[in-house]
Amino acid sequence: MKNVLLSIALIWTGFLQAQDPLKLKVEVIETTATEKVYNFITINFVDIIGWQFRMDFDGTKMKFKEIRNPIHPSQTTNNFFEPTPGELRSVWIDTDLEPNSFPDTTILFQMAFELLEPEGAPLCFEESQEYFEFIMADGSDFTLTEILISDDCYQGFSIFL
């Protein structure tokens, strides 16, 4: 009996870990004389109720301005802060604690930056796992073990959690 339970647990664990990784992508959609705007796109965004992550850029060339067109009302500019020039952190939690799942290639919001120099600077996720935290809904059958990031510095860079 013990061997049967162990086998079932291993199969179930393998199934959970076989889920596709969460993909986060920032993509420039507009650059004007005064600002640079990115789409924040997700793929495989399943049962998430919160996050924490960090992005970096040259703070002498641009400054975080605001979030635009969020699809979730609790994702706002207030969930982002720039503790030092060029270091952008985001902390978000869905206050109703309901799981959020969005179809692939959903644009969660747009990120706008004020340009301090023409063209601004590359915007890049911090590539260390210590800067990524995602909160999954209780009872989720999705296990988040990997994130793939794409930005101005990386295309499909894998981070294992």
- Asked if 37 and 111 touch (Cβ cutoff 8 Å), the reply is yes
Nearest to 41 by CA among 50, 58, 29, 49: 29
pLDDT at 11: 46
pLDDT at 19: 67
pLDDT band at 83 (very low <50, low <70, confident <90, very high): very high
pLDDT at 5: 41
pLDDT at 151: 97
Residue pLDDT, tens place only, 133-150: 999 988 887 788 899 999
The mean pLDDT value for 20-49 works out to: 96
Is residue 35 predicted with pLDDT exceeding 80? Answer: yes
16, HSE (Cβ side, Cα atoms, 13 Å): 13
Q: Please tell me the distance from the alpha carbon of residue 65 to that of residue 48, in angstroms, as a whole number.
A: 25
Q: Please tell me the distance from the alpha carbon of residue 108 to that of residue 79, in angstroms, as a whole number.
A: 13
The mean pLDDT value for 84-107 works out to: 94
Q: Which two tokens stand for residue 159?
A: 């981070």
What is the three-class DSSP state of 6?
Answer: helix
Is residue 9 predicted with pLDDT exceeding 60? Answer: no
pLDDT at 88: 97
pLDDT at 142: 75
**pTM for the model:** 0.84
pLDDT band at 14 (very low <50, low <70, confident <90, very high): very low
